[in-house]
Structures are given as structure tokens and as C-alpha cells.
Amino acid sequence: TEALEVPPKITTDSIIIGGKTYPKDDATNVTTTILEKTARQLHLIPAHPIATIKDRIASTFPGFKHYDQFSPVVTTKENFDDLCFSDDHPGRSVTDTYYLNNKIMLRTHTSAHQLQTLKESDKLLVTADVYRRDEIDASHYPAFHQMEGAQLFDAKTVVADVQKEIKEALAANPASAGIQTTDTTLITPENPKQDCHDEAAMLATADHLKHSLNLMVRRLFSQEKNLQVRWIDAQFPFTSPSWEMEILYQGKWLEVLGCGVIRQDILNNADKPDKIGWAFGLGLERLAMVLYGIPDIRLFWSQDARFLRQFEPSKIQKFKPFSKYSPCIKDISFWVPEGFHENNFCEVVRDVAGDIAETVEMIDKFTHPKTNRQSVCFRINYRSMDRNVTNNEINEIQEKLRTEVVDRMKVELR
Ligand code: FA5
Ligand code: MG
């Protein structure tokens, strides 16, 4: 655990964060806007919805060691190599990940702490802020929060151990009515058992995993009538087989977590070769938005008293939206160079406009028939969550954006 009290800073040749200095290099792409987020630690603020959901979920995993103070600065080894990501995995790309430099980055998921924590513990949770370069809309923000969970069993006794545990858990928590779970997953060549695993041991581990997570959402959503949950196949470099859980929310299936049977290489590296285990990683904002009825992911970062004062510690209650202020819509068109990536544009928007940028949408794209040059048009919806923006103010931002995209992205405005 590192002190994040010292404000992070970017100088001409280094990044200073958590009191440490990291030299910049050709991979550096972290921005001041993002670094400032690392100091917020929403999951540690009492009564903040993210912290309340974190506590609620943790209470459904008694006896699990809960780590929630890890620094977001990790090595590429921790975030990728230790988790069996291939060298050319797209997640490593500078368009997806924030790098301090070639070797040091902001974690993109709480799985970055799996190896270290599995060495220390057989039942663990990790809650933390994670960072990804991403698009801009109501459910995507470049910083969000995840909770990781993992549990290990003795590979020799897992079948009997799981049977006993599930029986006890069911006796203590009879499945609540009104929650339907559909499991459409299959062990296939695309979602295989690991060769080193005994089939019965793997199936028992998977059973325990799905049982634990079904119980977790049932408890979390005890107020919701007719909660629908489904399991689908997934793929992660660090688990096999792998699954995702989705819940039906406002007519759409919303992915809330990924999980699976931990790759044995990871357990061997954690000095636990005789164990078998599961892991999951869930998005706390996704669950908080549903449970509190929070319509926009930017609200979690709001420092407006009208947001924060609505919440009480350990109580989940529906969010009362304060009035929606009027939007201001602006388009920008430009010719793009080769290798243009939408996330790079979104980054410039974030830096210039901050949270006033509500959505960024590509509304047109065409290739000039003669020159073969490509042109794109983006529509930016500017709206503040706590006041009306003026057209003058947005014009100024839009002008600055036009200058910055040319400077930073080598595009030609149209
Ligand atoms: C992961 O991050 C894996 N580390 C999860 C995992 C852990 C799998 C352990 C197996 C074992 P994924 O990228 O799908 O997976 O993210 C996990 C969850 O984080 C998603 O289901 C979603 O709830 C949340 N999430 C992902 N991206 C965003 C985003 N941009 N904004 C808000 N929540 C997000
Ligand atoms: Mg996913």
C-alpha cells in the first residue's frame, strides 16, 4: 500500500505519482486528467455507492481476505505477463492501456494482483480503481472499479469439499424466489478444460464458482423481484474454462463479471501446485448503477453535494436525479492519418472538456473516391451534471479541441 496523498504530476521527463518518480519514454500516454483520478479512491469513501456495494459483496464472502489499498501503478509483468497474456494481445496496446512508461502502467483490471495475493491467501478479494482508454458514453468511463475474488481448494479433495460447502450454504440461504438463472455454458474446444486438470475436480470448482456468484447476486438484489441472471461462455488468458454473468436490466443483458477456473501455471508460480481454484472480476459501477438507479457513470466522480449527500453508509437506496441540464451539441470533421484510433480522439476530448463531455459519437466516415483519404465526423454532446453550460463556453472548448487534435493527432480539419 502506497500513500497516494502527494498529488500526481507530469513533468517534461517524468511522471510523479504516490511519491515515486517514473521516467517517461515512447510508451508514455497517461494524462493529468487520469492521474488526478488515482487520488480519489471512491471505494474507500464511506457512504459512496461504490464503497457500499463493495462492502455488501464482501459480506457474502465471509472469511475472505480483502485487499483494497493497492496502488494503481503496476508493472506490465503483473498486469499481463503473469496472467499468461500473449505478447501480441490487443489489451497491451497503447490505444487501450495507460502507460507511465514501457514497463509501468495503470492496472487495467484487479487481476493484476492475482499472483501476489494467491501466494498469501487461498480465499481473497481485491477491490481497486482500474483504468482503460475507452469510448465515451453513459456506461463507459476511463476509470472504474473492480472487485476480484478467488478461492483455492486442495485438488485431491475438492469434489468432496465442494459438495459439503454447497450443502451447508444452501441450508443457510434457501434460494430466494423470483430469481431465474439460465446456464447455457458448455465445455468445448473453444472453452476447454485444462489438460492438467482432472475433469471431476474442474467441474466441482466450476460448480462452486457459479454457486458462489449466484448466491452473491441473489443477496445483492434481494429487493428486486424477478431478477434474471444468465451464464455465457467467455475467454480470458488467465482462466479456462471461462464464463461471464449477465443480468437483465431494462430489457438488455448487462455483463457484470468475468470468471473461470484459474490457469494452473499461475497457481504453480504462486507456489500452490497442489491446489485448484476459481477467480472472478466484477465491475462495481455496473452493479451500483442498477442497484441505485444511477443513470450516468460520470456521476460516481461527482463532487457535487447533491450527489454525495443522498447516500448513507451501508444503505442502498434509489438515486434521485437532480434536473438534467441542457446539452450543447458540436460536430468536428477531419481527415485522418493512417493508424487513427477513436480512443485517441476521445482522450483529447476528455483532456480538453473534462466531464462536460457526455458522449462522443462517430456520425460519419467516408473515403474520398479519388485520393483514398479518409475523413471522419464526430458529434460531441456537452452537458454538465450540475449547471447549464453556455454556448460561449462550449465554443471556447470546441475551439481548443480543434487546435489540440491538430497538434496531438496530426489530423487535418475540414
Ligand atoms: C476482466 O477485467 C477480467 N480481469 C475479469 C476476470 C477476473 C476474469 C478473474 C476471470 C478471472 P472484463 O474486461 O470483462 O474482464 O471486465 C470485467 C468487468 O468489469 C465487466 O464484466 C464489467 O462489469 C466491468 N467493466 C469492464 N469495462 C468497463 C468499463 N469501461 N466501465 C465500467 N465497467 C467496466
Ligand atoms: Mg468482459
For the stretch 139-157, pLDDT in tens is: 889 999 999 999 999 999 9
Compute the distance from residue 148 Cα to the ligand 2 centre, in Å: 13
Taking the C-alpha atoms of residue 375 and residue 137, their distance in angstroms, rounded to an integer, is 22
Under the banding of pLDDT at 50, 70 and 90, the label for residue 175 is: low
Residues present in the chain in total:
414
Ligand 1 neighbourhood includes 137 CB (under 6 angstroms): no
Distance 257 CA to ligand 2 centre (A): 7
Pick the atom of ligand 1 nearest to 108's CA: 2
* Contact status, residue 126 vs residue 78, Cβ threshold 8 Å: no
The predicted pLDDT at position 249 comes to: 83
- Contacts of 283 by beta carbon, 8 Å cutoff, 6+ apart: 144, 145, 146, 255, 256, 257
**225 has a pLDDT exceeding 80:** no
From the CA of 236, which ligand is nearest? 1
Tell which residue, 283, 346, 277, has the closest CA to residue 108: 283
Alpha helix stretches (DSSP H) within 195-303 = 199-220, 264-269, 284-292
Nearest-ligand number for the alpha carbon of 112: 1
Q: Which fold has domain 40-72+107-300?
A: BirA Bifunctional Protein; domain 2 (3.30.930)
Per-domain boundaries in the chain: 40-72+107-300, 328-413
Task: Look at strands 179-183 and 227-236 and give their pairing.
Answer: parallel
The fourth-level CATH superfamily of domain 328-413 is: Ferrodoxin-fold anticodon-binding domain (3.30.70.380)
Q: Say what the pTM is.
A: 0.87
Which pLDDT band holds residue 2 (cuts at 50, 70, 90)? very low
Confidence (pLDDT) at 251: 87
Nearest ligand 1 atom to alpha carbon 142 = 30
Q: What is the pLDDT of residues 67-100, one digit of tens each?
A: 999 999 999 999 999 999 999 999 999 999 999 9
Query: Does ligand 1 come within 6 angstroms of the Cβ of 260?
Result: yes
Kindly state if the Cβ of 134 falls inside 6 Å of ligand 1. yes
CB atoms within 10 A of CB 251: 5
pLDDT at 1 over 50: no
Under a CB-based contact definition with an 8 Å cutoff, are residues 260 and 281 in contact?
no
Residues with CB under 5 A from ligand 2 (ion): 258
- Grid cell at residue 26: 515512447
Q: What is the mean pLDDT of the chain?
A: 93
